[in-house]
Structure 1
Amino acid sequence: MSRTLALTVAAIAVAGVVAPTAYAAPSTPPQPTGERQAAFRAAAAEFGVPEPVLLGVSYLESRWDANGGAPSTAAGYGPMHLTDVRAANPGGHHHDGTEDARGDAARPALLPEPGDLDTDSPALRTVDLAASLTGIDPATLRSDPVANVRGGAALLAAHQRDLGGPTGDPARWYGAVARYSGATEAGAASAFADEVFSVLATGADRTTDDGQRVRLAATPLTPDRSVLNRMGLAPAGGSRVECPRSLGCESIPAPYEEFGGDYGNHDLADRPTSQKVDHIVIHDTEATWDTTLRLVRDPTYVSWHYSLRSADGHIAQHVPTKDVAWHAGNWYVNAKSIGLEHEGFAAQGTWYTEAMYRTSAKLVRYLAEKYRIPLDRQHVIGHDNVPGTVPGTVAGMHWDPGPYFDWSHYFDLLGAPFRPAGRGSGVVTVKPDFAANKPAFTGCTEAGTPCAPRGSSSVVLRSAPSDTAPLLNDVALRPDGSPATLGVSDIGSRVDAGQQYAVADRRGDWTAIWYLGQKGWFHSRDAIPGRAATVSAKPGRTAVPVYGRAYPEASAYPAGIPAQAVTPLQYSLPAGQRYAVGLTTPSEYYWATTFDPATHTVVRGERYVQIQFGHRVAYVRAADVVIS
């Protein structure tokens, strides 16, 4: 336990529970009176926390959801995100794959082991302090939303007392809110508190994942930020960050060092002068925050550009965006993307905090503007959308951030919501109702065991318009032709919110799309009309090869640079089928195999088209297809 938390517990033990204060709520219309709303009101009165402050903190952590008692990506439980890393028992998918993070056949495969998780941070065990303050056992605090709200209120009150005592003025709770984030850095703590007070200013009104209507009336305030100066927080971790100033990002550089005849853990470049940045790739870390930072500072490990902390959305930058990080398992994509790792464990069926969604969206908006990257799902992709490079690497590719990442909410925050386009284009945009869409996945805790029902961005495809029809076959994952499964890591017959596909057929309340050379059926309610160009095989072609990278033809390589193999994947695009276009681009290969970047070269050749071929994107030669 940290010294600050220990002192807080001692102070509460001596002084007793914080007394209620005479806070007068602003005049507002009648608020909802459901159990969740009543729990906030009662806990605020019991512990002397202004009700808007309690509601605002909870909104930024969980949007008031209970999440079925499942932990967040940072081991946080319930509406107040009380953390208990021991109960969450994190574990993940990365060790299940064989992905080479570099994904460059010109260099030896890089398959480092992440090692043990660091779970000692007090920020990952706040349920213990809440139990000390309330007398409620940790299991109840984790599972009972009403108890959880009481525990969060007690924590806030304890922080306020430690910083100068109770007050009825919510503007003077800025420091307690900042401390609730668990941040030890001044920039991170203030960014979290600022976002909470931003929520207070605008208000919020929504129905939670378990059907509870909760409302926070708009409460504009000018918070007292002076308390930050006496909280003993660490200064910002460096000024060399590419990040909106309001986010309080810090610099924790990844090392560019030589070792044992190799070097790591990224490559120097000069993007966008050398190459256009086409993608922002969304990952989860499969590690705690402390473990993540330890790994990225290891020159023998892999790298990514940014890490985002779950509890408060804090951001650390590791690699300049002009340079190439080793994060996506596909060298072509690495060379043309920026990688964002979000603290989390996809395989656990965990949820992502609102704080992290918001800071991530602000960072992506900033990067998209800087590099002129369109805000759509063809350019802002998940690691699970990155294709294998050659047939032998497809099955081992990672699948984060997983089916429980709320892509629709994320794009709402990006200011680029998924909206219906005009009918008649023959393209649909996948858009299920996240809260109501609960596929029966298995394997979140152990293989074959049903996952707890949870809202999801993923829609499962069937081989016929029936809920009992088999799933599709992904020949790269199952060469024997057997159908995909509902395993949480099996993306062989699955689409996600925001992805666009060409319509193949319609029957009653069902829609079929072209997917991996097959018709995939789903309920029409889970999509909206979309608009995108499509490709089909050129007349006279029975099928077109599909690639996992857009590499130049052999004749494009200058002397001294070995031509890289242009190897089709196991799939093909048959005549008569159409696939949505993501972008068109010259083929490119970034030759970067030496520590001295003076020899690095970008080779360009014929044009390729990126298409939405399955769950992952793929590439076809422009010369092989017709774009309509």
Structure 2
Amino acid sequence: MSTRTLPRTAALVAAVTLASGLAAAPAQAQTDPASQRQRDFTAAAKEFGVPENILLGVSYLESRWDANAGTPSTSAGYGPMHLTDLRAAGVATSHHDEGTEDPRGDDARPALHPQAGPAAPPPGLQTVDEAAQLLRTDAGTLRTDPTQNIRGGAALLAKYNTGNNWYDAVARYSGSAGDAARTFADEVFDTVKAGTARTTDDGQQVTLEATPDLTLPQHSDSNPANVECPKRVTCESVPAPYQELPGNDYGNHDLANRPESQKIDHIVIHDTEGYWANVLDLAQDPTYVSWHYTIRSSDGLIAQHVPTKDVAWHAGNWYVNAKSIGIEHEGFAAKGTWYTEAMYRSSAKLVGYLARKYGIPLDRAHIIGHDNVPGTIPSTIAGMHWDPGPYWDWSHYFDLLGAPLGGFGLPGSSLVTIDPDFAKNQPAFTGCDSPGTPCAPRGSEAVVLHSEPSETSPLLVDIGLHPKGTASTMDVADVGSRVATGQQYAVAEIRGDWTAIWYLGQKGWFHNPRGARVAKPAFGWVVTPKAGLASVPVYGRAYPEPAAYPANVTVQAITPLPYTLSAGQKYSSGGVVGSEYYWATTFDVADHVVVKGKLKYVQIQFGHRIAFVKADDVRFLPAF
């Protein structure tokens, strides 16, 4: 852990500055229904003697002032103030236990399917009980009533404020200790200094006025020497074991020498489907699988498990594993939970740092979700994982990365970027809590595709997910007929308010009316089959030609996926990549070989997932 020392005088000055910066709300806001939440913050701050901008800042770092319809966050927090109730959150299982995906995804080794079992929420803070006692109310009210939730959070901050030190009170509110708590407080104070405003998920307009002359605490920004992390976040080392096991087996990752041996092309965003402590136990299990980092929901604490030079077993596709960094986020793809702002911010800082370090473009062709990783061969497609799910806010995430999505092309461009309004876009998914049960309405980054320009027409067919040729479904785990924020697709046709894109060899239609666009013009490059080719094969990995393999390395098959890229169709290009295969089947690193071929591929956005086509099979066309 790093050492961060906060001078008491700095915290006192900050508190005085914040308290003196409060301003009365405009008269119009006193009756506007859309400003009720603003009035709730004002009233609660006055009732409990908490500076209003501190109360607003803490709430923003927890929930961005959203109510989230009374559902819990990924760390069991409820409401705008993220009051935690671990009892109500339930149990969890690791997503690595679900489906048939082999996280390693290497045909040269036996499939790996470790089992973790259910994990109960960790014992810890029950801030909803603490707040309920202070307000003399019940936990259920605090979970579901935003006004009372804000009062509960204010009461807790007032209780935590000893010696008129609001910085320490904010740090304690995070539920953490040491550097992680101070990182959370730093983010709150930075937000208060800069100010912000937004419309919440339930239509409330909330503003935190900037406090530009705020005196911020001064302390060191050091992290342990053995972690790869940016400044202004707290990182710790929780190493994954590279360990020899019985039966000529080993775990739980592969040593390498990236980027000298192989270029790192992707950062893969995952969610844990489990709670922090249990997930860290799994990362340290030599018989389990691995990933490079885990990020905690409550405060954004980062744990590094595998050095970025090494290859972790996380994405279910060995080609992608060998050329990516995997980051797990404490949370759940669909179980009625939402991701905290503290985690979004910490993750964005980490990804920005890694992208700069390894020259990874900040776009959705290279910063991808696990749900965007392709199956390796036809038989693995149906078992691929789909986290972080349709409720991960890619638009907000890329804003935090300083690389906003959408809106950069000319009107009428033949390429579009998917970019719906996250809060207003609420597809009617099912299966979040149990199969077939409607999910609670909530904002989403996903846009659903239809086979015709009509909401009543069937969804598209994904022959890889549904080999019998049946249409895709609205099950939250079925990615066969949906696109995601930031992804780019070639326009196939426009009819009135409906736009069709090329998707898995079909036209996929979505409603895109003027004034409520869910896709925006883009510019870039698309690929289409070369003249004379009726169709070209599509692949889930970019493996070398057979002649590239040395005699002691087994040639890996170049197996096409069961889709068609036909003449006349166009797909967005993510760039040309070389062909590579990392032969790493033994514990002895001396036996490991990076095979590089002459064959070139083009990464394309083919469906919900990326894919690859041989560069010799396609030609490039500009789109703008």
**TM-score of the two chains, using structure 2 as the length reference:** 0.92
Amino acid at match of 1:462: H
Which residue is equivalent to 2:11?
none
Superposed, which structure 2 residues align to 1:197-216 within 5 Å?
A: 197-216=189-208
Which residue is equivalent to 1:15?
none
Deviations 1:139-184 (A, max 9, x none): 1111110111111112212222xxx34x3xxxx3111111111113
Alignment root-mean-square deviation, CA: 1.8
Is 1:279 the counterpart of 2:282? The answer is: no
Deviations 1:360-395 (A, max 9, x none): 111111000000000000000000000011111100
Amino acid at match of 1:523: H
Is 1:64 the counterpart of 2:76? The answer is: no
Aligned counterpart in structure 2 of residue 243 of structure 1, from 229, 254, 257: 229
Aligned counterpart in structure 1 of residue 238 of structure 2, from 252, 262, 277: 252
Superposed, which structure 2 residues align to 1:495-506 within 5 Å?
A: 495-506=483-494
Deviations 1:322-342 (A, max 9, x none): 110111010000000001100
Which residue is equivalent to 1:354?
341
1:548 and 1:490 map into 2 onto residues whose CA distance is 18
CA apart distance, 1:130: 1.7
2:25 and 2:297 map into 1 onto residues whose CA distance is 34
Is 1:433 the counterpart of 2:425? The answer is: no
Which residue is equivalent to 2:592?
600
Superposed, which structure 2 residues align to 1:226-625 within 5 Å?
A: 238-260=224-246, 261-423=248-410, 425-524=413-512, 525-605=517-597, 606-625=599-618
Per the alignment, in what secondary structure is the counterpart of residue 281 of structure 1?
Answer: strand
Q: CA contact under 8 A between 1:91 and 1:348: conserved in structure 2?
A: no
Which residue is equivalent to 1:116?
118
1:429 and 1:53 map into 2 onto residues whose CA distance is 37
What is the number of residues matched between the two proteins?
A: 590
Amino acid at match of 2:115: E
1:341 and 1:97 map into 2 onto residues whose CA distance is 18
Per the alignment, in what secondary structure is the counterpart of residue 122 of structure 1?
Answer: coil
2:138 and 2:409 map into 1 onto residues whose CA distance is 55
1:420 and 1:44 map into 2 onto residues whose CA distance is 39
Deviations 1:32-75 (A, max 9, x none): 44221121122212222111111100001001000111111111
Per the alignment, in what secondary structure is the counterpart of residue 357 of structure 2?
Answer: helix
Which residue is equivalent to 1:231?
none
Superposed, which structure 2 residues align to 1:183-198 within 5 Å?
A: 183-184=176-177, 186-198=178-190
Per the alignment, in what secondary structure is the counterpart of residue 562 of structure 2?
Answer: strand
1:90 and 1:439 map into 2 onto residues whose CA distance is 26
Deviations 1:565-604 (A, max 9, x none): 1111111211111111012111100001111211111111
Consecutive unaligned residues in structure 1, runs of 5 or more: 1-21, 229-234
2:491 and 2:217 map into 1 onto residues whose CA distance is 55
Which residue is equivalent to 1:96?
98
Q: CA contact under 8 A between 1:237 and 1:251: conserved in structure 2?
A: no
CA apart distance, 1:238: 3.8
CA apart distance, 1:313: 1.1
Greater shift, 238-247 or 313-322, is seen at 238-247
Consecutive unaligned residues in structure 2, runs of 5 or more: 1-17
Per the alignment, in what secondary structure is the counterpart of residue 180 of structure 2?
Answer: helix
Amino acid at match of 1:596: D
1:579 and 1:455 map into 2 onto residues whose CA distance is 27
Per the alignment, in what secondary structure is the counterpart of residue 109 of structure 2?
Answer: coil
1:415 and 1:274 map into 2 onto residues whose CA distance is 30
Percent identity of equivalent pairs: 65
Deviations 1:501-547 (A, max 9, x none): 00000000110000000000012221000112111112222111111
Greater shift, 452-461 or 198-207, is seen at 198-207
CA apart distance, 1:132: 2.2
1:86 and 1:48 map into 2 onto residues whose CA distance is 30
Q: CA contact under 8 A between 2:90 and 2:120: conserved in structure 1?
A: no
Which residue is equivalent to 1:141?
142
* Change in CA separation of 1:254 and 1:236 when aligned onto 2, cut-off 3 Å: farther
**TM-score of the two chains, using structure 1 as the length reference:** 0.91
CA apart distance, 1:422: 3.0
1:311 and 1:347 map into 2 onto residues whose CA distance is 18
2:222 and 2:138 map into 1 onto residues whose CA distance is 37
Which residue is equivalent to 2:26?
30
Per the alignment, in what secondary structure is the counterpart of residue 539 of structure 1?
Answer: coil
Which residue is equivalent to 2:3?
none
